[in-house]
Amino acid sequence: MLIEAAGTRLLVDAGLPLATLQRQLARAHLTVQPNAIIVTHAHGDHCRHAAELSEHFQAPLYVSEATRRSVRLGGRRAPRIFGPRTPFAIGDLTVTALTVPHDAPQVSLRFDHDGKSAALATDLGEVPPELIEHFAGCENLFIESNHDSDMLWAGPYPYHLKRRVAGDHGHLSNAQTHGLLRSLDRGVRTVVLMHLSQTNNTPELARASAVEALCDHPATLLLASQFGVTTVGADAPKPPQLELFPR
């Protein structure tokens, strides 16, 4: 995920190799040149290429202390450490992390600039009460809607993996995300559903659940694809930029 505000670009997570990242963002008419990289947690699909990308772009790498202890990131430069609930600045952006339950130390990230805000919450097994407060005032929310419970339990995953996904430190189901969406304040303008399972969910099921939750809410609903580029921006040209905070 690429977040842009004024003169600052942040790459959130680094599970894709450089060539794939460049190819994907080229589809949105963007080049990759982040000022910093933030890793949310220590699973490979989020951190596998962190050191490679940090060195290529000469961009500092930010991780929580728990993530630093959980994985060997490699690279020649030591990562910068951030703590939960303590805002920190990267260029024009203020970033706030909130610890959320997952089977690796995980954070939800909030980004603020000039009175505008966006927040990201994926890879969490349940919704802690603090998350609603973390989202307060955000205009753009990027939220996991990982699986349909019936599809998961009837599907091909081995039993231990089904338990992991459905557990309190796994991933949010469509029903859990539905409950979260019902609690959003009316200042939210865009909701993007993310991290949909290819095996245990369908876009139609995730969308239908979210539409029902947002039936009387003014927010626009989008679904992010694993194989496409989803762009959000107030003054975005076509194809739109990934700029959430207009100058």
User: Is 115-229 the same fold as 1-82?
Assistant: yes
> b/e per residue, 159-193, with b = 16+ CB within 10 A?
eeebeebbeeebbbbbebbbebbeebeeebebbbb
pLDDT for 68 equals 84
What confidence score (pLDDT) does residue 239 get? 35
pLDDT digits (tens, 9 = 90+) for 163-191: 999 999 999 999 999 999 999 999 999 99
Residues 61-102 have pLDDT tens digits of 999 988 888 777 666 778 899 998 899 999 999 999 999 999
Q: What is the 3-state secondary structure (H, E, C) of 61-125?
A: EEEEHHHHHHCCCCCCCCCEEECCCCCEEECCEEEEEEEECCCCCEEEEEEEECCEEEEEECCCC
- 115-229 in CATH: which number? 3.60.15.10
On whether the 1-82 domain is CATH 2.40.50.100, my answer is no
At 186-234, the pLDDT tens digits run: 999 999 999 999 999 999 999 999 999 999 999 999 999 877 778 887 5
> What's residue 164's pLDDT?
96
In this prediction, residue 118 has a pLDDT band, given cuts at 50, 70 and 90, of: very high
Q: Where are the domains of the chain?
A: 1-82, 115-229
pLDDT digits (tens, 9 = 90+) for 132-148: 999 999 999 999 999 99
Q: Decide which of 59 and 70 is more confident.
A: 59
Q: Is 45's pLDDT higher than 90?
A: no
Per-chain mean pLDDT for the chain: 89
Report DSSP letters for the chain, one per residue.
Answer: -EEEETTEEEEE---S-HHHHHHHHHTTT-----SEEE---SSHHHHTTHHHHHHHHT--EEEEHHHHHH----SSSPPEEE-TT--EEETTEEEEEEEE--SS-EEEEEEEETTEEEEEE-S-SS--HHHHHHHTT-SEEEEE--B-HHHHHHSSS-HHHHHHHHSTTS--BHHHHHHHHHT--TT--EEEEE---TTT--HHHHHHHHHHHTTT---EEEE--TTS-----TT--SSPPSEEE--
70: left (phi over 0), alpha (psi -120 to 50) or beta: alpha
Using pLDDT thresholds of 50, 70 and 90, give the confidence band for residue 13.
very high
